[in-house]
Amino acid sequence: MSISQAVEAAGDGSGSEFRRGVASCAPVLFGTIPYALVLGAQATQVGMSTVELSMMTGLNFAGGSEFAAIQLWTSPPNIVLIVAITFLVNSRHLLMGAALAPFLRDLPRRKVFPALFFMCDESWALGLADAKQRAAAGITLAFSPRYYMGAALAMYLTWVAFTTLGALLGPMLGHVETYGFDMAFPAVFLVLMRGMWTSMAAARPWLVSLVVAAMVYLFVPGAWYVAAGAVSGLVAAWLMAGHA
Amino acid sequence: MIDAATLLTILLMAGVTYLTRIGGYVVLRNRTLSARATAVMEAAPGCVLISVIAPAFVSRNPADLLALAITLVAATRLSMLPTVLIGVGAAGLLRHVIG
């Protein structure tokens, strides 16, 4: 390959990085669509208009907090309660952003701040797993912004479009759980975790998170289980690192 | 079609959510982390992921638990798409057969 061909290949690489991101997100979208439809349908049942629902999913773009908000929705809404619950459900983003930060060091802030608006569980997990794999393969700029944005924008557009469609279709939709689509989320997350697996010892904090999150989910009302499980796992990792 | 209190709620939700998204990056961007902090950061992604899906592990529906076990085995051996298809297929089928 000549130098010009190599440069051309690298140029094509940026577009293909975006497509690679979209493609890797495709299985996740499969599981997202039924949830988006249900959220939209539920929103109309508690008195939100389609415009309001689209605005919420487009500006907030964090499904867990939106489900919680819809469940707590009254007319007029209890603003303090809903905003506080939104923060709690989304507090995991703080950990996620911190985990991603080392890979974002070489990027300018004007690119990072818009990109972080699109950071959801799925785009973050895909972007981080990809960066770790590329780093392990010896690639210096391990984080691929175009790959991340491909996954993130596919997720964003799907979420906003299908929540809106759910609001328009309203109560015609039944329960998606009967069809098994909800198992797509555990499936995706478990595959991502296998990609992060290094050793049994390194995975022990995950077990702590699982047990604590499950117990809190069973015995504490609300969406506390995500924060409780995540923080417990981190405390366990902190303690175990001290013993090593 | 847009209520003022609803609009305010949505804008505040969007505001705190964006703060959570940039918070970890802004605070930790230019710090050199200790070995211990690095160990915590390396455990963090898995801890968040497993916490989000923890409710599936304590489902009261035996069909869901069996489907999750099948999905877990698939996830250790297969790539993303086959695992998702097996998981969704197993959950849908087992819920009709058992649940």
Predicted pLDDT at A171: 66
Q: Of A236, A232, A243, A226, nearest to A204 (Cα)?
A: A236
Q: In sequence order, which residues have a C-beta less than 8 Å from that of residue A207 and are 6 or more positions away? A: none
Chain A / chain B CB contacts < 8 angstroms:
288
CB contact at 8 A, A193 and B46:
yes
Per residue in A25-69, pLDDT (tens digit) is 998 898 788 778 878 888 888 889 999 999 999 999 998 888 878
Which pairs count as long-range contacts for A221-224, CB under 8 Å and 24+ apart, including other chains? A222/A68, A222/A85, A222/A88, A223/A64, A223/A68, A223/A85, A223/A88, A223/A89, A224/A88
Residue spans per domain, chain B: 1-31, 44-99
pLDDT higher than threshold 60 for residue A9: no
pLDDT at A75: 83
> Given the structure tokens 């190599």, which residue do they identify?
A6
DSSP A113-141: HHHHHT--HHHHHHHHHHHHHHHHTT-SS
Measured CA to CA in angstroms, residue A212 lies from A57, A135, A230, B48, B84 at distances of 29, 31, 9, 12, 26
Q: What is the mean pLDDT of residues A10-25?
A: 81
Mutate one of A107, A111, A181, A183 to test the B interface: name it (highest B CB count within 10 A). Answer: A183
**For residues A103 and A95, which has the higher predicted lDDT (pLDDT)?**
A103
- Cα-based angle B20, A227, A58 (whole degrees, multiple of 5): 40
pLDDT reported for residue A14: 72
Average pLDDT over residues A2-9: 40
| ipTM score of complex | 0.81
Query: What 3-state class would DSSP assign to A40?
Result: helix
pLDDT for residue A141 is more than 50:
yes
Q: Are A73 and A86 in contact (CB under 8 A)?
A: no
Q: How many CA atoms, within 13 angstroms, populate the side-chain half-sphere of residue B96?
A: 8
Averaged pLDDT of chain A: 86
Determine the average pLDDT of the residues in A188-192: 83
Joined together, the tokens standing for residue B80 give: 């993303």
Angle of helix B35-57 versus helix A224-243 axis, rounded to 10: 140
* Interchain contact A46–B (C-beta under 8 A): no
Residue A12 near chain B (CB below 8 Å): no
3-state helix, strand, coil in chain A (%, to 5): 80, 0, 20
Q: Which pLDDT belongs to residue A6?
A: 40
Confidence of residue A174 (pLDDT cuts 50, 70, 90): low
pLDDT higher than 60, residue A116: yes
Q: Please state the rounded mean pLDDT for residues A203-231.
A: 90
| B59-80 average pLDDT score | 94
pTM value is 0.72
Q: Is B81 on the interface with A (CB under 8 A)?
A: yes
Contact indicator for B67, A220 with CB cutoff of 8 Å: no
> Is B38's pLDDT higher than 70?
yes
Q: What is the pLDDT of residue A31?
A: 77
Structure confidence at residue A140 (pLDDT): 86
Predicted confidence band at A7 (pLDDT cuts at 50, 70, 90)?
Answer: very low
Backbone torsion region of residue A170, taken as left when φ is above 0, otherwise alpha when ψ lies between -120 and 50, otherwise beta: left
d(CA B14, CA B6) in angstroms, rounded, equals: 12
Q: Provide the H-helix boundaries in A46-198.
A: 50-59, 63-72, 79-90, 92-100, 109-117, 121-136, 145-169, 184-196
Q: What is the pLDDT of residue A173?
A: 57
**pLDDT of the residue at A82:** 87
Q: How high is the pLDDT of residue A204? A: 95
Mutate to test the interface with A, among B2, B12, B47 (most CBs of A within 10 A): B47
Q: Is the Cβ of B98 closer than 8 Å to some Cβ of chain A? A: no
Percentage of chain A lying above the pLDDT 90 cut: 47
Q: Is B10 on the interface with A (CB under 8 A)?
A: yes
What average pLDDT does this structure show over A134-140? 91
